[in-house]
Amino acid sequence: MPLFQRRKKQSRIPYDPATQEPAVRRSICTGEMTVGFINRETGKFHEYELAPDQAALEAFCREVGVEVAKLKTIY
């Protein structure tokens, strides 16, 4: 065990659950996934980052505090 350890910060992504909903947008052709938030009033999707694999998608869900199964999917 090292003497000096760095702790990983659990950085939560700041968003307003009252006005935004976490979602993933998937491409039908390539399967590319982009995570972001949907504005509840306008329905517009705001991109946060590209999720190249399932692990990145799960990491986004952990930071936002939502389960992967409950994440809204847009095609």
Residue 64 lies in a domain: no
Structural domain containing residue 36: 17-50
Which 8-state DSSP code applies to residue 73?
E
Residue 34 lies in a domain: yes
pLDDT at 37: 95
Q: How many domains does the chain have?
A: 1
**pLDDT tens-digit series, residues 33-62:** 999 999 999 999 999 999 999 999 999 999
Residue 33 lies in a domain: yes
Residue 23 lies in a domain: yes
Residue 45 lies in a domain: yes
Which 8-state DSSP code applies to residue 17?
T
**pLDDT tens-digit series, residues 8-42:** 555 577 788 899 999 999 999 998 999 999 999 99
Answer with the residue of higher pLDDT: 1 or 60.
60
Instruction: Give me the sheet containing 45-51, strands edge to edge.
Output: 45-51, 33-39, 20-26, 72-74
Token pair recorded at residue 70: 């409950």
Residue 63 lies in a domain: no
